[in-house]
């Protein structure tokens, strides 16, 4: 295994929705070319946490951040950070597939075009590469002009992954990406995540313990906004240091 490099780091992170404190003094490192799973019961702060990593929470009225989020050692809240550029570097795939009402091709090309790329051949090459990386090319290569809504739920989710990959991110955030799709599509997404970590840093929120155990290298357990335990997934699932972690992963609550 290559030496670990911190790609994304939370230091003394506190997050507020108005007066409500949703995250409490979080210290957590997401390593380069590794998959980090964020687990915990509903309402524990999982989605809030990953949305701080690329400042998706900026759009929430009354939201406030204390502490630091670092990307490659630089604060994502620095005045010199362009939020649009940050979200290109740290892409996001949401819980439910959210393709645009456009063709399959135009969905993947969307980010390229709004970033000023006009060369049709270059766009076509990147679309093909991104669909290949998302394990979707062979299923859609003869249907690129069809509306994305003609795809199955699992295919739509992989299309959204291809759309995120097209702008060449450095990290990809997955917010419960399999909760709205069937078991066969889930298996494809999990295989895909394992392949993606060879090129990208991956952070996945999941309510599925087995999924976290299957796909991740590191696991963080959150509860009521507190980081209860963080470590290598194997250790978290076989010999957790905290009794709360043990009770959660064995299904005694949550």
Q: Is the pLDDT of residue 40 over 70?
A: yes
Distances (CA, A) of 160 to 27, 99, 117, 223, 248: 30, 6, 19, 29, 31
Question: Quick check: is 224 in a domain?
Answer: yes
Per-residue model confidence (pLDDT) at position 180: 85
Q: Is the pLDDT of residue 188 over 80?
A: yes
Query: Model's pTM, two decimal places?
Result: 0.94
Per-residue model confidence (pLDDT) at position 92: 95
Question: Quick check: is 162 in a domain?
Answer: no
Looking at the chain, the whole-number percentage of residues with pLDDT higher than 70 is 99
Closest residue by Cα to residue 172 from 215, 110, 118: 215
Q: Is the pLDDT of residue 35 over 90?
A: yes
Closest residue by Cα to residue 170 from 199, 209, 212: 199
Question: Quick check: is 194 in a domain?
Answer: yes
Rounded Cα–Cα distance for residues 111 and 228 (Å): 37
User: How many domains does the structure of the chain reveal?
Assistant: 1
Per-residue model confidence (pLDDT) at position 209: 92
Residue 227 host element (H or E): strand 226-232
Q: Is the pLDDT of residue 235 over 70?
A: yes
> What average pLDDT does range 107-111 have in this prediction?
96
Question: Quick check: is 41 in a domain?
Answer: yes
Compute the mean pLDDT over every residue in the chain, rounded to the nearest whole number: 95
Q: Is the pLDDT of residue 253 over 80?
A: no
Distances (CA, A) of 114 to 4, 84, 118, 130: 34, 11, 9, 17
Quote the domain boundaries for residue 218: 6-98+172-249
Question: Quick check: is 243 in a domain?
Answer: yes
Specify the CATH number for the domain of residue 181. Answer: 3.40.50.300
């Amino acid at each position: 295994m290559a030496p670990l490099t911190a790609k994304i780091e939370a230091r003394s992170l506190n997050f507020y929705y108005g007066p409500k404190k949703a995250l409490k003094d979080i210290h957590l490192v997401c390593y380069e070319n590794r998959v980090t799973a964020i687990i915990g019961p509903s309402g524990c702060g999982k989605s809030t946490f990953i949305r701080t990593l690329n400042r998706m929470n900026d759009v929430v009225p009354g939201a406030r951040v204390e502490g630091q989020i670092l990307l490659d050692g630089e604060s994502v809240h620095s005045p010199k950070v362009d939020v649009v550029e940050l979200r290109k570097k740290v892409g996001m795939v949401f819980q439910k597939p959210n393709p645009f009402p456009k063709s399959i091709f135009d969905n993947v090309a969307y980010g390229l075009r709004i970033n000023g790329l006009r060369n049709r051949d270059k766009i076509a090459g990147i679309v093909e590469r991104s669909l290949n990386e998302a394990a979707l090319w062979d299923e859609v290569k003869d249907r690129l002009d069809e509306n994305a809504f003609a795809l199955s739920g699992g295919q739509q989710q992989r299309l959204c992954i291809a759309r995120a990959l097209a702008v060449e991110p450095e990290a990809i955030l997955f917010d419960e990406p399999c909760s709205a799709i069937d078991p066969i599509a889930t298996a494809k997404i999990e295989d895909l995540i394992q392949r993606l970590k060879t090129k990208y840093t991956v952070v996945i929120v999941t309510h599925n313990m087995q999924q976290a155990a299957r796909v991740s290298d590191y696991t963080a357990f959150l509860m009521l906004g507190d980081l209860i335990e963080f470590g290598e997934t194997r250790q978290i699932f076989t010999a957790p240091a905290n009794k709360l972690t043990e009770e959660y992963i064995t299904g005694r609550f949550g």
